[in-house]
Amino acid sequence: MNARQKRRLGLAVAVSVGVAAGVALMLYAFQQNLLYFYSPSQVAAGLVEPQTTFRLGGLVAQGSVQHETGSMEVRFALTDGAHSLPVHYSGLLPDLFREGQGIVTLGRLNEAGVFVAQEVLAKHDENYMPPEVAEALTEAGQAPVGISW
């Protein structure tokens, strides 16, 4: 490699490193703004500005789902193991919605501390297995439903 090529190599590496450093700095600064959803614990800790529309993420608490007969309304609770928030929603639910399922929902907290949702999305985990394997795990006391936070 001659001197000119060495210089070009140095320039190319410098450009890549420079841009990477700049982006890293930007990402660090924007850490807060890129947060996609809050957990019930974060809401309980008062990290969410009042009167704002935000995303809430958690697992559907066991035994918390109540469908209003004859309407699209449903009530359930989202939990992250430490805190739980009641959610009220009227509309289409994703196919994967059920107790223990990970959920990300968009809405606002009302005065009664209930999260009124305008959108409910299912967040599934990265695990894939046939039904028989899932059944075997459940019988062994390690049911795989839900997400790993």
Partner 1 sequence: MFHRFTALSSPRHFYAIASAWLPWLSVLTALGFAVGLYWGLVVAPPDYQQGEAYRIIYVHVPSAWLSLMVYTVMAGAGLVALVWHVKLAEIAVYECAVLGAWFTALALGTGMLWGKPMWGTWWQWGDARMLSELILLFLYIGVLGLHNAFADSRKGARVAAVLALAGIVNIPIIHYSVEWWNTLHQGATVTRFDKPAAHSSMLWPLLFMGTMFILYFSTVLLARIRVRILEQEADRQWAEEVRRG
Q: Catalog residues that contact partner 1 under the rule CB under 8 A.
A: 1, 5, 8-9, 11-12, 15-16, 19-20, 23-24, 27, 34-37, 55, 57, 92-96, 104, 119-135, 144-145, 147-148
105: number of Cβ within 10 Å: 24
Minimum distance between the CB of residue 112 and partner 1, rounded to whole angstroms? 26
> Closest CB to partner 1 among 62 and 127?
127
Nearest-CA neighbor of 129 among 142, 118, 111, 119? 142
Minimum distance between the CB of residue 20 and partner 1, rounded to whole angstroms? 4
Minimum distance between the CB of residue 132 and partner 1, rounded to whole angstroms? 8
> Closest CB to partner 1 among 74 and 120?
120
> Closest CB to partner 1 among 111 and 128?
128
Sign (positive or negative) of CA dihedral 102, 107, 108, 114 = negative
> Closest CB to partner 1 among 46 and 131?
131
> Closest CB to partner 1 among 87 and 123?
123
Q: Which residue has the tokens 């990477």?
A: 20
Minimum distance between the CB of residue 11 and partner 1, rounded to whole angstroms? 8
Minimum distance between the CB of residue 121 and partner 1, rounded to whole angstroms? 5
